[in-house]
Amino acid sequence: MLSCCRRRQDDIVGRVLKHFQSPSRLRGWKTSPEDREAKREACEKATGVGAKLALTSIDAELVQRCVEGDQQAWAEIVRQYSRRIYNLAYRFTSSHSAAEDLTQEVFIRVYRSLGQYDSTLGDLSNWLMRLARNLVIDDYRKRQRTPTDSGDDLANHEYHLPAASDSPQRSLERQERRLQVLAAIDKLSHDLRECVILRDIEELTYQEIVDLLKIPEGTVKSRINRGRIELAKVLRRMKVNPD
């Protein structure tokens, strides 16, 4: 399963990068992609103002290289965020092909908007995922107005990274339960579904959901509560324990 997911991610990365075939202008940076990734991981694990500033500095450098035409820097961004964006898209589309197309659209939007990124206002991850969520939500709402039956088998397409401490049996049980919960979420009405996904899977704050969906906070909270109640009913009918 994990090797299949990695192959699929490689396919998506390759598909996205085909749209950016300008000659690479690598500039001989002193640090390798592996070194920069190690620095990023260290910064993300650390806490405090210093760690946050170091992370935004890495982001700013990476974005600047992209703006200057460094194809390797753009490939780093695509590889770093493709799995996360694809999973977000798949949760709202339930379709592998639609999620792939949407992931590609997100990266095209990101590429065109790189000059607008301001590292003083936050790290690259927050900025990029905000763009992704806006596009995915817009697409989701358009599809609700013209629904099509294009769902796929969840087990085949969503990326999963098992916990290192999980036994094979525990990992399999966790995977099966997760897929059942996602299938149950898919049965919610579209307004409840989007709020439950954004709050309980994407872990956005209420204010972030308000800003994204452009609805009052009271409506957001109400939809989340109703969504959770409906989800519990669906899971009981499916005889699934969500814990």
Task: Report residue 134's pLDDT band, with 50, 70 and 90 as the boundaries.
Answer: very high
Going from N- to C-terminal start, the domains of the chain cover: 31-145, 167-237
Q: What integer pLDDT is reported at residue 108 of this predicted model? A: 94
In CATH, what class is 167-237? mainly alpha
Q: What integer pLDDT is reported at residue 24 of this predicted model? A: 41
CA distances in angstroms from 50 to 36, 44, 46, 47, 122, listed in the order given: 17, 11, 9, 8, 14
Beta carbons of 190 and 139 less than 8 angstroms apart: no
Position 162 pLDDT exceeds 80: no
Position 56 pLDDT exceeds 60: yes
Q: What integer pLDDT is reported at residue 31 of this predicted model? A: 45
DSSP-assigned states of every residue in 79-107: HHHHHHHHHHHHHHH--HHHHHHHHHHHH
Say if pTM beats, i.e. exceeds, 0.85. Answer: no
Among 14-28, 44-58, 105-119, which stretch is predicted with the lowest mean pLDDT? 14-28
Position 147 pLDDT exceeds 90: no
Round the average pLDDT of the chain to a whole number and report it. 79
Which is nearest to 98 in space by CA: 109, 108, 107, 86? 86
Q: Provide mean pLDDT across the span 15-22.
A: 62
Task: Tell me the per-residue pLDDT of 79-115, one tens digit each, with 9 for 90 and over.
Answer: 999 999 999 999 999 888 999 999 999 999 999 999 9
Q: Does domain 31-145 have CATH number 3.40.50.620?
A: no
Among 12-21, 29-38, 87-96, 224-233, which stretch is predicted with the lowest mean pLDDT? 29-38
CA dist 75 and 56 (Å) reads: 19
Task: Tell me the per-residue pLDDT of 185-197, one tens digit each, with 9 for 90 and over.
Answer: 999 999 999 999 9
